[in-house]
């Protein structure tokens, strides 16, 4: 057995999985073998979530049944709403989301199935918990936008799709067709991405047979970091700092000279442009055409990408999914600190697919370490120190 230390476990296989795959050289991300670019164009979040959970594209009746289950589970118990109302409104929405999701298990239960160690065989339980969590996470994120501003949240509707209902609850009015198209595509694009940091956190928590609500809470906490899900918020702040498109190259030169981060650029897995960034850029163009103008942030992002391609392209550094997602959300009137919670509303489908896969052949994670401390030694009495 190799004892080589690899920082960040770079390149170390942590599991066997058939959920998603990445071809970093060609820039291909696939869910269960289906190219993400095709899914973003032709599928919906509901269908994609079921594909991730069950492993195959559903029939129309299967999809209708799953969609109906999601719609029926959107409401929250009022005590969860009370918990949210008593949280500091100045806190980050990801902290709220982790707290609220962790509390769900106290109200909806079900952990007793996990205690006997055969939960991986109880597909009905796994499916039921997955539906509850996927549906209610969207409700929680949308509700918080109103609660933190001092208003009662908007009640969910069961006559709207997942994306449409989320936008309706978030904004308080029925969204237009373009907004729903963009949000649904964003949900599809962010739903899964192999064994990233938050998914690995979910897997480790899953391996202990913890409640699925705690499994997802662990993943949410990991996603919150700026090096993972929080980067899209940083991209918007970065573009605001650049101010104008003509400033992009000079700003980039200064960043690179100071060895500082260019947010939204580069990905450990991709040696070319992230396929999700390609789709998001196209959606941003469609959005701009519909609005009749090119937003300053989008124009600046395009100019900065050109400068980065020249300076960083030869090193295999190109835009990742965060580069354009934040701009899109901002154009849709969504608060920047809600970008990462929206990421979580989507990625929960992938986390739950990995939860199911982990339970199907479970073994608790227990990696080793390379000890660098002192050899065993005698305790030194206080008077001799």
CB 344 within 8 A of CB 196: no
- The two beta strands, 20-23 and 34-35, are unpaired
DSSP of 289-356, one letter per residue? HHHTS--HHHHHHHHHHHHHHHHHGGGT--B-HHHHHHHHHHHTT--GGGHHHHHHHHHHHHHHHHHH
Q: Partners of 144 in the beta sheet?
A: none
CB 125 within 8 A of CB 112: no
Phi, psi of 319 (to 5 degrees): -60, 140
CA-CA distance, 176 to 159, in Å (whole number)?
15
Report residue 62 as tokens.
């299967």
C-alpha closest to that of 191 among 318, 304, 342, 315: 342
C-alpha closest to that of 323 among 290, 289, 283: 283
Residues catalogued as catalytic: 267, 322
Q: Partners of 319 in the beta sheet?
A: 265
């Amino acid at each position: 057995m190799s004892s080589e230390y690899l920082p960040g476990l770079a390149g170390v296989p942590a599991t066997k999985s058939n959920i998603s795959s990445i071809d970093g050289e060609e820039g291909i991300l696939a869910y269960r073998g289906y190219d993400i670019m095709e899914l973003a164009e032709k599928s919906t979040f509901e269908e994609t979530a079921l594909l991730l959970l069950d492993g195959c594209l559903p029939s129309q009746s299967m999809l209708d049944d799953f969609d109906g289950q999601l719609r029926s589970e959107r409401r929250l118990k009022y005590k969860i709403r009370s918990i949210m109302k008593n949280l500091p409104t100045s806190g980050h929405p990801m902290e709220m989301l982790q707290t609220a999701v962790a509390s769900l298990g106290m109200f909806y239960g079900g952990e007793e199935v996990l205690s006997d160690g055969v939960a991986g065989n109880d597909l009905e339980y796994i499916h039921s918990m997955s539906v509850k969590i996927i549906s209610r996470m969207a409700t929680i994120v949308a509700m918080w936008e109103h609660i933190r501003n001092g208003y009662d949240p908007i009640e969910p509707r069961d006559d709207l799709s997942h994306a449409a209902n989320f936008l309706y609850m978030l904004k308080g009015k029925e969204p237009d067709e373009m907004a729903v198209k963009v949000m649904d595509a964003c949900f599809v694009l962010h739903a899964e991405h192999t064994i990233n940091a938050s998914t690995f956190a979910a897997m480790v928590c899953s391996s202990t047979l913890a409640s699925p609500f705690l499994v997802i809470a662990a993943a949410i906490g990991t996603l919150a970091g700026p090096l993972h899900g929080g980067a899209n918020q940083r991209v918007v702040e970065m573009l605001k700092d650049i101010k104008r498109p003509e400033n992009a190259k000079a700003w980039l030169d200064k960043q690179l000279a100071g060895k500082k981060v260019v947010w939204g650029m580069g990905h450990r897995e991709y040696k070319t442009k992230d396929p999700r960034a390609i789709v998001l850029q196209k959606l941003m163009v469609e959005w701009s055409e519909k609005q009749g103008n090119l937003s300053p942030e989008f124009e600046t992002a395009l100019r900065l990408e050109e400068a980065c391609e020249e300076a960083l392209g030869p090193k295999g550094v190109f835009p990742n999914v965060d580069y354009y997602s934040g701009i899109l959300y901002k154009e849709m009137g969504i608060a920047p600190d809600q970008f990462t919670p929206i990421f979580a509303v989507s990625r929960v489908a992938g986390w739950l697919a990995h939860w199911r896969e982990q339970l199907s052949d479970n073994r608790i994670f227990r990696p080793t370490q390379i000890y660098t401390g002192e050899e065993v030694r005698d305790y030194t009495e206080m008077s001799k120190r």
